[in-house]
Amino acid sequence: MYETFEQIHAFISQPWPWWMGGITIGSTLFLLLYFGKEFGLSANLRTMCAADGAGDYADFFEFDWGKQGWNLMVALGAMFGGYIAANYFGGDGMAHVSQATVDTLNQIAGQDLLTTKTVPLIPGKDVIHDDVPAFWNLYSWGSLFTLRGLLIIVGGGFLIGFGARYAGGCTSGHAISGLADLQIPSLVAVVGFFVGGLLMTWLILPHILRIGF
């Protein structure tokens, strides 16, 4: 019995292949539609603003946000999912990116970000084995006191929040729900996501990563 449990645990803990994405996203979309709702996580940001009284400043936030509680629960569930996955089914904790990406990372990240063959799933997570210290130490409270960390955490968050509402949806609202409904506006938005993403990745991010303070 215990051995079976261990086998199941080991099976889930290995990195998942891409087609599991179809199953995960498909079942999420199916269940939310079945419950009579829609799949779109960035709408929560609007709800959270409205709940904090943003309606006093812009009528965009004057809506019946009390009815959006279900979507906040989806976000809360996603937080628990991340907690359980990271702490109990984390596997080796590595992002199994291609060798080409490892080379690219070493190229675009300055010398203070260490050269290593192993890439942790999350930047800032310590690589325990060998003598390789943290790679790309960004996701920590301390990095808020560096210009690079501030730009990436505060700046990135702002762009996400602003852009998602401007475009009327994010990766879940447009790239999944919208494309699944064959909406041309969503296709335009997704092309926009990629144009912005390519501009940032190729032209701007390498310069931000080279900021040494």
Q: Please tell me the distance from the alpha carbon of residue 18 to that of residue 5, in angstroms, as a whole number.
A: 25
Instruction: In angstroms, give the least distance from the CB of 57 to another protein.
Output: 6
Cβ within 8 Å of residue 7, ≥6 positions away? none
Residue 106, Cβ neighbours under 10 Å: how many? 17
Residue 124 binds another protein, judged by CB under 8 A: yes
Q: Which is nearer to another protein, 4 or 98 (CB)?
A: 98
| Burial class for 39, CB neighbours closer than 10 Å (0-12, 13-18, 19+) | buried
Does residue 10 interact with another protein by CB under 8 A?
no
The distance of closest approach from Cβ of residue 42 to another protein in the complex, given in angstroms and rounded to an integer, is: 4
Q: Which is nearer to another protein, 114 or 179 (CB)?
A: 179
Contact yes or no for 151/209 (Cβ under 8 A): no
> Should residue 100 be labelled a site residue for another protein when binding is judged by CB under 8 A?
yes
Residue of the chain from 105, 113, 137, 148 that contacts another protein (CB under 8 A) = 105
Closest approach, Cβ 173 to another protein, in A, equals 9
Collapsing DSSP states into helix, strand and coil, what is residue 120?
Answer: strand
x-marked contacts with another protein along 72-91 as a string, rule CB under 8 A? -xxxxxxxxxxxxxxx-x-x
> What tokens does 45 get?
């940001």
